[in-house]
Amino acid sequence: MAKIITEDTRLQQECTADVLLFGTPKDRLDFYRREIQYETSLLSNRTNAYLTAQSFLVIAFASSMANLNPEWGELFTLVVPSLMAVLGIFSSLHAWPGFRASYVIIDHWHFKQSHLLRSDPVMGKAYDDSPLFNEKESSQKGYRKSLMFSMRTPWLFVIFWLLLASFCIYVQLANASQ
């Protein structure tokens, strides 16, 4: 028997599939929260690894600027720190897409969670006899502010490395002209 698929049948099939997948709205909420926690942990790990790499690069930059070898120290302190600054800029630019991807995924799961809390009156008010969220905690503004450090860090380091490279080149060229 041929079946005509209408919008209503499609929505009914999706609702049936959701029930089979999640069971209850609480299961769905728990799933969303686990996904948010997982992606937040990934973003945190990426940020920690990035900051660790940048800190070692800054230490190497400062050490190479302190080279006092009379024979080749001037050339060394012009070339090596400049290359490290370029490496810092490239690593920052390559870290950005990973941070951005995590941010987008976290944003998606927060959207799904807030939609669930708003669409299901039982879930939105309380499922364990206490308020689940107040508006301040569940707003987009709240969690987005908490992610700004990770989102801004690569761009701050790009600016930092540009300033250090400029300083390095200026110092060496100013000393060479004297």
**pTM summary value:** 0.75
- What DSSP designation does 69 have? -
Overall residue count recorded for the chain in this entry: 178
Q: Which residues of 148-173 are buried (b: 16+ CB within 10 A; e: fewer)?
A: eebbebbeebbebbeebbeebeeebe
- What DSSP designation does 68 have? -
Q: How far apart are CA 159 and CA 178, in angstroms?
A: 29
Q: Which pLDDT tens digits describe the chain residue by residue (178 residues)?
A: 565 656 565 555 555 555 556 678 888 888 999 999 999 999 999 999 999 999 999 999 999 988 888 888 788 888 899 999 999 999 999 999 999 999 999 999 999 888 888 787 665 555 445 555 555 555 567 778 888 999 999 999 999 999 999 998 898 888 777 6
- For residue 132, give the nearest of 145, 144, 114, 146 by alpha carbon: 114
Max distance between CA atoms of the chain, in angstroms, equals 93
Position 86 scores a pLDDT of 96
Q: How far apart are CA 178 and CA 45, in angstroms?
A: 47
- What DSSP designation does 126 have? -
Q: How far apart are CA 157 and CA 86, in angstroms?
A: 11
Tokens of 101: 């991807």
Query: What's the CA dihedral at 141, 145, 147, 153 to 10 degrees?
Result: 140
Do 99 and 43 touch, CB atoms closer than 8 A? Answer: yes
Position 24 scores a pLDDT of 82
